[in-house]
Amino acid sequence: MTIRYSKDTICVRSGTIIDAATGGVRSPLFPSTSNSYLDTAEDYYPRHGNLPNQRSLAVKLSHLEQGEDALLVGSGMSAIALSLAAHLKRGDHLVAQHPLYSGALKFITKHLKPLGVAFTLASSPSPADFERAIRPNTKAFYLESPTNPLLSIVDIRALVSLARKHGILTFFDNTLATPINQNPLLLGVDIVIHSATKFLGGHGDLSGGAIIGARHLVERSKGLVHDVGGYLDPNTCHLLERSLLTLSIRIERINANAQRLALFLNDHPNISRVHYPGLPCHPAHHIARSQMVGFGGVVSFELAAAIDPKHFQKRLRLITPANSLGEVVTTLNSPTLASSSYASLSKEQKLGSGINDSLVRMSVGIESFDDLRDDLDAALGNK
Ligand SMILES: *Cc1c(COP(=O)(O)O)cnc(C)c1O
Nearest alpha-carbon partner for 61 in 3, 140, 145: 3
Cα 153 to Cα 150, 173, 228, 370: the distances in Å are 9, 12, 34, 28
Q: Which atom in ligand 1 lies closest to the alpha carbon of residue 176?
A: 13
Q: What is the pLDDT of residues 238-259, one digit of tens each?
A: 999 999 999 999 999 999 999 9
Q: Is 147 in the pocket of ligand 1 (CB under 6 A)?
A: no
Q: Order the strands of the 320-321 sheet from edge to edge.
A: 271-275, 298-303, 359-363, 331-333, 320-321
Nearest alpha-carbon partner for 63 in 230, 247, 220, 279: 247
Q: Output the pTM of the full model.
A: 0.96
Q: Report the separation in Å between the CA atom of 76 and the middle of ligand 1, taken as the mean of its atom positions.
A: 5
User: What confidence score (pLDDT) does residue 1 get?
Assistant: 52
Enter the DSSP assignment of 187: G
Separation of alpha carbons 110 and 38, rounded Å: 46
**Mean pLDDT confidence for 89-103:** 96
- Residue 344 pLDDT > 70, yes or no? no
Alpha-carbon torsion (201, 245, 296, 145), positive or negative = positive
Nearest alpha-carbon partner for 15 in 63, 74, 48: 63
Q: Report the separation in Å between the CA atom of 77 and the middle of ligand 1, taken as the mean of its atom positions.
A: 6
Cis peptide upstream of residue 234 (ω within 30 degrees of 0): no
Of all residues in the chain, the percent with pLDDT exceeding 90 is 91
User: Where does the pLDDT of residue 318 fall: very low under 50, low under 70, confident under 90, or very high at 90 and above?
Assistant: very high
Enter the DSSP assignment of 152: -
Radius of gyration of the chain (CA): 21
User: What confidence score (pLDDT) does residue 336 get?
Assistant: 84
Q: Best substitution site from 73, 142, 197, 200 to test ligand 1's pocket, by max atoms within 8 Å of Cβ? A: 197
Q: What is the pLDDT of residues 163-201, one digit of tens each?
A: 999 999 999 999 999 999 999 999 999 999 999 999 999
Contact (Cβ atoms closer than 8 angstroms) between residue 331 and residue 363: yes
